[in-house]
């Protein structure tokens, strides 16, 4: 989707279906025939999260199944082959259910990207999040400078309140 940029806004970075500009972060998510666009101002971003989600119990179950297959080797080779096949299937399932999860949150809204398998580089996602955080810091410090807030918090026109 081609988005029209605001006046003075420029493109900074894109990772998967998330785009960072000088003013906004947006996600153009398409799945099948449905599409969703989530957009939030950069200065509204409150938190970011990057992690891997996987199901380690599948690996444990595969290991137990393989041990059972080794134990059944003395009794029946067909059972052993079957158990080794189940262990391989469990390891394959583990490999296909691993995913990289990136989240950017602002208030009640959030942008979530999940990339299945090893197709996504953790380093590229982390670099994108560094850019989002850096852009947010630029916006926050720029807003403080524009507001003219003083560090002492004194009232304008006097040293304190009351009299």
36-50, 54-68, 128-142: range with highest mean pLDDT: 54-68
Residue 118 confidence (pLDDT)? 61
Contact 79, 72 (CB under 8 A): yes
Q: At residue 37, does pLDDT exceed 90?
A: no
**Confidence category of residue 84, pLDDT binned at 50, 70, 90:** very high
Question: Mean pLDDT across the stretch 97-123?
Answer: 80
| Domain regions of the chain by residue span | 11-52+122-142, 56-97
**Residue 152: pLDDT band with limits 50, 70, 90:** very low
User: What is the pTM assigned to this prediction?
Assistant: 0.62
Three-class SS of the chain? CCCCCCCCCCEEEEECCEEEECCEEEEEEEECCEEEEEEEEHHHCCEEEEEEECCHHHHHHHHHHHHHHHHHHHCCHHHHHHHHHHHHHHHHHHHHHCEEEEEEEECCEEEEEEEECCCCCHHHHHHHHHHHHHHHHHHHHHHHHHHCCCCCCCCCCCCCCCC
Quickly state the pLDDT bin for 123 (edges 50, 70, 90): confident
- The per-residue pLDDT for 159 is 45
Structure confidence at residue 147 (pLDDT): 63
Structure-token pair, residue 64: 């137990």
Distance of alpha carbon 150 from alpha carbon 26, whole angstroms: 33
Identify the weakest region by mean pLDDT among 16-20, 37-41, 146-150. 146-150
CA distance 37 to 103: 15
> According to the model, what pLDDT value does residue 89 have?
95
Using a pLDDT cut of 90, give the percent of the chain over it.
13
Percent of the chain with pLDDT over 70: 83
Asked whether residue 156 carries a pLDDT value surpassing 50, the answer given is: no
The distance of Cα 153 from the centroid of its chain, to the nearest Å, equals: 37
Question: Using an 8 Å Cβ cutoff, are 53 and 99 in contact?
Answer: yes
Tell me the C-alpha distance between 113 and 127, whole Å: 15
Q: In the predicted model, what is the mean pLDDT of residues 76-83?
A: 88
């Amino acid at each position: 989707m081609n988005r029209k940029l605001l006046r003075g806004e420029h493109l900074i970075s894109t990772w998967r279906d998330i785009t960072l500009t000088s003013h906004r972060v947006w996600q153009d998510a398409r799945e099948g025939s449905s599409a969703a666009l989530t957009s939030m101002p950069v200065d509204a971003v409150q938190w970011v999260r990057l992690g891997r989600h996987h199901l380690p119990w599948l690996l444990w179950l595969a290991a137990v199944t393989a041990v059972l297959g080794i134990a059944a080797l003395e009794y029946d080779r067909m059972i052993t082959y079957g158990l080794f096949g189940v262990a391989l299937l469990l390891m394959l399932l583990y490999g296909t259910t691993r995913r990289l999860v990136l989240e950017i949150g602002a208030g009640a809204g959030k942008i979530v990207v999940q990339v299945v398998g090893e197709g996504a580089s953790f380093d590229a996602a982390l670099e994108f999040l560094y850019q989002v955080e850096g852009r947010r810091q630029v916006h926050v410090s720029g807003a403080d400078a524009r507001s003219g807030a003083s560090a002492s918090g004194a009232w304008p026109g006097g040293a304190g309140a009351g009299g």
